[in-house]
Amino acid sequence: AVEGHVYLKNDKLFVEEILTIDSNIDFNTGNVEFKGDIVVKGDVLSRFSIRAEGNIYISGTVEDARIREGGNVIVKGGFVGRGDGRIKSDWDVVVKYVLNQKIIAKNDIMIEGESLDAKLFSGNRILIEKPKSWLIGGTVVACKSVRAYDIGNELNNKTNISCGKYLF
């Protein structure tokens, strides 16, 4: 009656609507697609992808990977790479930091640390407000507001910020 992750425990069959991966997303796991929530207890390595209809929680760092989901994406580590990665969310995206990557969220994007040369597109707000957090370089577009503790730097990296544009 329910779609999900099937497993056997004490000779009983269970179906969970949460898929937990206790390792990195890499050549051992391959790309991951699941109808419920996905919990990754490691990193997501370059060129791999995760797709979920629910929320995605990643304990580690996301490299040049593709993340797509129908709920929230929460990355406890950063989102880094050469610019080939993308996180796309139908709700919120929360990351510790982002370097040279693209994030698209229909609602809010929240970054705890720095955003360096990233492309951020939000249907609502972009929040980089914790003390000692920075928004340096890249392109930032939000429908309602961009709030940051510090914007720009002394090296004159070009930081493009647009508000009030309808994206979705």
- Reported as a single tens digit per residue, the pLDDT across 110-123 is 999 999 999 999 99
Contact present, 84 and 46 (Cβ < 8 Å) = yes
d(CA 74, CA 93): 6
Identify the sign of the CA torsion 42, 44, 45, 48. Answer: positive
Contact present, 94 and 74 (Cβ < 8 Å) = yes
Q: Which pTM value belongs to this model?
A: 0.89
pLDDT of 60 strictly over 70: yes
What percent of the chain lies above the pLDDT cut of 90?
75
Q: Look at residue 32 and give its three-state secondary structure.
A: strand
- Residue range 127-148: average pLDDT? 93
pLDDT of 5 strictly over 70: no
- Reported as a single tens digit per residue, the pLDDT across 61-81 is 999 999 999 899 999 999 999
